């Protein structure tokens, strides 16, 4: 069967024998690609097996027109990611005394302590409606850009812009002395 038919059959049935037959056709190619990037036979063989595991997950999620070139790209990207991963990742014990206080919350560079929460609430009110909504959904409800776009009907790029501009405006507002924010609030009314 041609690659395209095997891909389609695997995507509809999830049959691992179909995927194995398809994968078998390109194992030598994959090994060559992995050896080219990883430079050693053992890591290259391990990478071929890992790529098969990735294939099981990724192939059903992608429309693949040319399986061979798609698989080559998948293998190349996998190898490049392996090269970027630190080989000698070391872990050390940490001293809990050097950690932040529990009541601190970070808003990408804005440290908010209990005594600043009221100021943050006031500063949130100074944002445009779109910025305020996007910032609250992103930071307070842990929504991603896509979820915010779906919930609000705002385009993804605009959501990103509202969050970035809202975060910048919040930071500016939070860094102002308290008297400036009070005066600004009083002049609005």
Q: Where residue 80 sits, what CATH number does that domain have?
A: 1.10.1740.10
Q: Would you say residue 174 lies in a domain?
A: yes
Instruction: Let me know if residue 34 belongs to a domain.
Output: yes
142 vs 50: CA distance, rounded Å: 31
SS3 106: strand
Asked if residue 142 is part of any domain, the answer here is: yes
Statement to judge: residues 67 and 106 lie in one domain: no
Q: Which domain holds residue 175?
A: 102-188
- pLDDT at position 36 is 92
User: What ranges in the chain are assigned the alpha helix state H?
Assistant: 3-13, 16-25, 27-38, 41-58, 67-84, 117-126, 129-135, 145-152, 156-175, 178-188
CATH of the domain at 121: 1.10.10.10
| Residue 19 sits in the same domain as residue 45 | yes
Domain count, the chain: 2
Task: Determine the longest span between alpha carbons in the chain, in angstroms.
Answer: 75
pLDDT at position 106 over 80: no
Do residue 55 and residue 128 come from a single domain? no
Q: How far apart are CA 9 and CA 24, in angstroms?
A: 16
Classify residue 119: in a domain, yes or no: yes
* 10 lies in the same domain as 50: yes
**Per-residue confidence (pLDDT) for residue 92, from 0 to 100:** 58
Same domain? 76 vs 131? no
Q: What are the φ and ψ backbone dihedral angles of 111, each rounded to 5 degrees?
A: -85, 130
User: In the predicted model, is pLDDT for residue 60 greater than 50?
Assistant: yes
Indicate the pLDDT class of residue 35, thresholds 50, 70 and 90.
very high
**How many angstroms separate the CA atoms of 60 and 1, rounded?**
18
Mean pLDDT to the nearest integer, 38-54: 90
Query: Are residues 70 and 35 located together in one domain of the fold?
Result: yes
pLDDT value of residue 103: 46
Does residue 41 fall inside a structural domain? yes
* One domain, residues 143 and 176: yes
Which pLDDT score is estimated for 188?
A: 53
């Amino acid at each position: 069967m041609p690659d395209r038919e095997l891909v389609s059959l695997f995507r509809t049935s999830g049959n691992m024998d179909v995927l194995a037959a398809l994968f078998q056709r390109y194992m030598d190619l994959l090994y060559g690609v992995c050896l080219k990037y990883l430079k050693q036979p053992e890591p290259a063989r391990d990478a071929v097996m890992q790529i098969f595991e990735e294939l099981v997950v990724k192939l059903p999620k992608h429309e693949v027109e040319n399986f061979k070139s798609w698989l080559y790209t998948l293998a190349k990207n996998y190898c490049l990611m392996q090269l970027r991963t630190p080989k000698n990742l070391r872990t050390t014990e940490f001293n809990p005394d050097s950690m932040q206080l529990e009541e601190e919350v970070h808003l990408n560079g804005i440290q908010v302590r209990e005594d600043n929460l009221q100021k943050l609430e006031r500063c949130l009110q100074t944002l445009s409606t779109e910025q305020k909504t996007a910032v609250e959904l992103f930071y307070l409800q842990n929504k991603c850009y896509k979820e915010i776009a779906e919930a609000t009907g705002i385009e993804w790029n605009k959501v990103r812009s509202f969050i970035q501009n809202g975060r910048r405006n919040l930071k500016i507002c939070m860094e102002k002395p308290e008297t400036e924010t009070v005066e600004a609030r009083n002049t609005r009314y």
